[in-house]
Amino acid sequence: MRKVVLVTGAQQGIGRAMAAGFAAAGYDVAINWLDDQAAAEAVAAEVTALGGRAVALQGDVGRIAEGAALVEGTVAALGRIDVLVNNAGIFPRVEFLAMTEAIWDAVHSVNLKGSAFCGQAAARAMVAAGHGGSIINLSSQALRGTPLGVHYSATKAGVAGLTRAMALALAPHGIRVNAIAPGTTDTAQPRHGNTDEELAAMAATLPIPRLGRPEEIAALGVWLASDAAGWVTGQTWHINGGSFMP
């Protein structure tokens, strides 16, 4: 029986690469999208071309009921859930002195609360089905701090702590929980706050002097979900070209 993965925020970027990477590894894929149905359907077509079944599910992970509905929709359409990739995230750049409560709450709702409660819903489904599973949370190199992202850094540091605590809570159920903390990756997100020239200049300073590729982040996710990583839980995996070596 093919395993099933739900990838949140899969309409673009790292999420899209995760969907394709898991499909290539033999998974059926539930593709969560927020505001671009055509993009999600294109990801679903890519999954199908790779031999997997696909379902596209609209939902805002910052709303607990909608996150739970994503898990329910995955099980209804594909029969089970074995892996959750908590990829959905937002990063509205803002000066700390200009930050509002609304911006702070929006970022925490999606990045941290969404990861926690989507993880809870997925874990409940895994336990009810009587099998273990894997949850992969997306943190970020920004957990060490970024001046236009005090709110974002707080959530991504929170994801690392959340991952450790979830791993302890879910280990008795055979569910492993790990996090991936990418450095600057060639997606739309860093382009919202930087020009191509600025990104090239940043990349040139790295020990491996280039931006990360979404497919590289996805490859790590596929490995973390695999039996090869069966003794790995509670860890935050840094993949950043050597820019940050904790």
Q: Tokens 């999600």 sit at which residue?
A: 40
- What is the reported pTM? 0.96
Distance CA 15, CA 214 (A): 8
Start-to-end CA distance of the chain, whole Å, equals 39
Among 151, 147, 142, 152, residue whose Cα is nearest residue 182:
142
Which pLDDT belongs to residue 196?
Answer: 84
pLDDT, tens digit, 9 for 90 and up, residues 159-188: 999 999 999 999 999 999 999 999 999 887
| pLDDT > 80? residue 193 | no
197: its two tokens: 């020239």
Q: Indicate the residue type of 60.
A: D
51-96 pLDDT, tens per residue? 999 999 999 999 999 999 999 999 999 999 999 999 999 999 999 9
How would you label 62-78 residue by residue, b for 16+ Cβ within 10 Å and e otherwise?
bebebbbbbbebbbeeb
Catalytic residue flag (residue 115):
no
Q: Which of 152, 153, 226, 243 is catalytic?
A: 152
Tokens of 216: 């590289």
Q: Which of 27, 140, 153, 226 is catalytic?
A: 140
Our answer to whether residue 3 is catalytic in this structure is: no
Going along 90-206, which residue ranges are E strands? Answer: 133-138, 175-182
Residue 46 has pLDDT above 90, yes or no: yes
User: From the candidates 134, 156, 226, 243, which is the catalytic residue?
Assistant: 156
Angle at 240 between CA 236 and CA 242, to 5 degrees: 110
DSSP three-state, residue 50: coil
